[in-house]
Amino acid sequence: MKRLAFILVALMLSLSVSPNETVKQRIKQMQRTVPMQYNQEVQTYVDRYLKAPGMVSRVRGLSLYYFPIIEQIFRDNGLPTELKYLTLVESKLNPQVVSPRGAAGLWQFMPESGKAFGLQRNAYVDDRLDTYRATEAAAKLLKRLYGMYGDWAIVIAAYNCGSGTIRGAIKAAGGKKSFWAIYPYLPKQTRIYMPIFIAYNYVLEYADAYNIQPATIDNLPAAADTIHTTRRLNFQQIARTTGTPVETIRMMNPQYLQGVTPAGRDNIICLPQGKARFMRKHAAEAAEADETKEETVAQQ
């Protein structure tokens, strides 16, 4: 009888903690540099994503490759690493996605804004699709925005709607520079941007609690290494030299639109970890061969 009473009490206590209350407490525990406030809108997006475990599984699988790269660049630039989740809001970690308005890459730079941060774009290359260069550009933009507003939540909003809209919202809020003060004066798309950002933070941080495992992503290795070259190399050459499938090279280097690195510029080639040394050896041998050829021509 006592055991039955104990079970009933335990059951009542477990039922007294609602799923929403669990999410609320977990988000409270997630507080880092970027403030994350729980509200019903955040809960709405958490529920939406948890009802799409396939999507969460895929972005979790992609994050195993992309997040370490982003985190290192952000640490080098003194930025909070949790800002990496902006890539989920922007692109769901798809570096090849292009929006109907023409924004492209993990960070969804428009052509003009990309150019302003040194991202080249022509028939052969689109640096907005380059994981390293686009993340460096995003880091510069985020640092600039923080210097303007000193509030990470406003920085996140400004990344979505632009500084001009934020200035108007601050003016409408009587000069107050806090996200929730300007919230009523922001466009609808920007008002939901922060809740979506928080929801993505939550579902990836607590994916294990919901038994959502990372998906295996075809042609994407566990980790990347890079090599710089000014030479014109095509993906077939790189594949032969490194023993890496062309499709893997293509997926890791979508910025080279024709499958070729343009000559005469600093090209970053991403390769599976451990493969870059083969490319470095090949590049050194090619350079040595060129020097020998030049000396032979000069002696004739």
Q: What is the pTM of this model?
A: 0.86
SS3 letters for the chain? CHHHHHHHHHHHHHHHCCHHHHHHHHHHHCCCCCCCCCCHHHHHHHHHHHCCHHHHHHHHHHHHHHHHHHHHHHHHCCCCHHHHHHHHHHHCCCCCCECCCCCECCCCECHHHHHHCCCCECCCEEHHHCHHHHHHHHHHHHHHHHHHHCCHHHHHHHHHHCHHHHHHHHHHCCCCCCHHHHHHHCCHHHHCHHHHHHHHHHHHHCCHHHCCCCCCCCCCCCCEEEEEECCCEEHHHHHHHHCCCHHHHHHHCCCECCCEECCCCCEEEEEECCCHHHHHHHHHHHHHHHHHHHHHHHHC
Q: Tell whether 145 and 243 lie within a shared domain.
A: no
CATH code of the domain covering residue 174: 1.10.530.10
Q: Tell whether 57 and 188 lie within a shared domain.
A: yes
Task: In whole angstroms, give the CA distance from residue 40 to residue 35.
Answer: 16
**Contact yes or no for 49/203 (Cβ under 8 A):** yes
Distance of CA 223 to the CA centre of its chain: 15
**Contact yes or no for 34/80 (Cβ under 8 A):** yes
Q: Tell whether 180 and 92 lie within a shared domain.
A: yes
**Contact yes or no for 142/23 (Cβ under 8 A):** no
The last residue of a domain, from among 210, 235, 255 = 210
Q: Tell whether 68 and 112 lie within a shared domain.
A: yes
Q: Is 280 a member of any domain? A: yes
Task: In whole angstroms, give the CA distance from residue 241 to residue 236.
Answer: 9
Q: Is 6 a member of any domain? A: no
Q: Is 124 a member of any domain? A: yes
Q: How high is the pLDDT of residue 18?
A: 67
Q: Tell whether 76 and 154 lie within a shared domain.
A: yes
User: What length is written for the chain?
Assistant: 300
pLDDT tens track for 178-193: 888 999 999 999 999 9
Q: Tell whether 178 and 246 lie within a shared domain.
A: no
Q: Is 292 a member of any domain? A: yes
pLDDT along the chain (300 residues), means of 10: 46 54 93 88 97 98 98 97 97 96 97 96 97 98 96 95 95 92 94 95 97 96 93 93 95 97 95 85 54 42
Q: Tell whether 286 and 236 lie within a shared domain.
A: yes
Q: Is 162 a member of any domain? A: yes
Task: In whole angstroms, give the CA distance from residue 185 to residue 187.
Answer: 7
Task: In whole angstroms, give the CA distance from residue 142 to residue 182.
Answer: 19
Task: In whole angstroms, give the CA distance from residue 246 to residue 237.
Answer: 9
**Contact yes or no for 34/83 (Cβ under 8 A):** yes
Q: Tell whether 142 and 290 lie within a shared domain.
A: no
pLDDT tens track for 248-289: 999 999 999 999 999 999 999 999 998 888 777 666 554 444
Residue ranges making up the domain that contains 232: 224-299
